[in-house]
Amino acid sequence: MTKQLVKIGRLTGLMVIGLATVVQAQDSTRVASAGSGVGYGRLAIILSLLALIGVVLLWRRTLNAKAPARDTARSTDVNQSVIHELSDRLKVLEQERNQVKKRLDVVEASLEQLRQRTTVPQNQFREQAVRNEPVQDVTPRTTATAPTQPQPTPEPAPTPAVSQSQNRTRTAPAPTLPSRLFARTADVPGGFSVGSLTESPSRPMVFIITPTAPMQATFRVSDDPEAQRLALSDPYSYLSEACQYTSRPEPNSRIVTVLEGRLSLQGEIWVIVQKAEISFTA
């Protein structure tokens, strides 16, 4: 602060000197020539302006220096007020914690009293029950055993008579399946109906079905040229329902069964369990 005052004093002195030179220059203009007086006057004006600018800058600098000091003073006041509020809150919380602790101590004491009151009657009841329990007589007693009588043996149950019709049904052999069946197409969704199959075809048949068990069979595409020409005339209608292609069907080609399909008899329908794989060769 003292340094700033010294600077202000120096600048003020310079300004005074400048003003004095201005006055002296005006006096000299009356005596001396006009050219030299004008030069001194300009120099004095410049010096006075510089001194004035310096005074203004120092004044603003002092104001800026005082502002942070005020801010710090205000911040310290705010911090102190916040600290006081926090300390008051901590005191209140401490008091509440002490009150809660006292209440818990009272509750624990009452619980301990209740436990003591309940354990004493239980012990008394047990002692009384032990006293009143009768003493069992452990002396062995002899019991007279009655003579055992022989039990009658049960007669064997008569075997039911078996009728002749039952004997016939038991001994009747199972119907034999034909070795081959022929089908023109898969006439029902997902299979062949039993009514559409024949043992001796009178027209070209596309599929040949071979029974392998009472309820199982395999099928393949016939090698008959007429049957294959019929199938190739409309592959979608004759082959797509029962076969899986390994190559694209082409006219005037030959159908080869790569893997036979499998069937399962369910009611009146031979259901396709696995489609047959076929290929088309030239």
Contact 183, 196 (CB under 8 A): yes
Per-residue pLDDT, averaged over 175-201, amounts to 90
pTM of the model: 0.40
How do strand 276-281 and strand 243-245 relate by DSSP bridges?
Answer: parallel
Q: What is the mean pLDDT of the chain?
A: 77
Domain boundaries, the chain: 2-74, 177-281
Helix (H/G/I), strand (E/B), else coil: 179: coil
Distances (CA, A) of 256 to 17, 145, 222, 276: 128, 91, 9, 10
User: Tens digit of pLDDT for each residue in 248-279?
Assistant: 998 889 999 999 999 999 999 999 999 999 99
The pLDDT of residue 13: 66
Reference 183, options 162, 211, 157, 164; nearest CA is 211
User: Tens digit of pLDDT for each residue in 45-86?
Assistant: 888 788 788 778 887 887 777 666 666 767 777 788 889 889
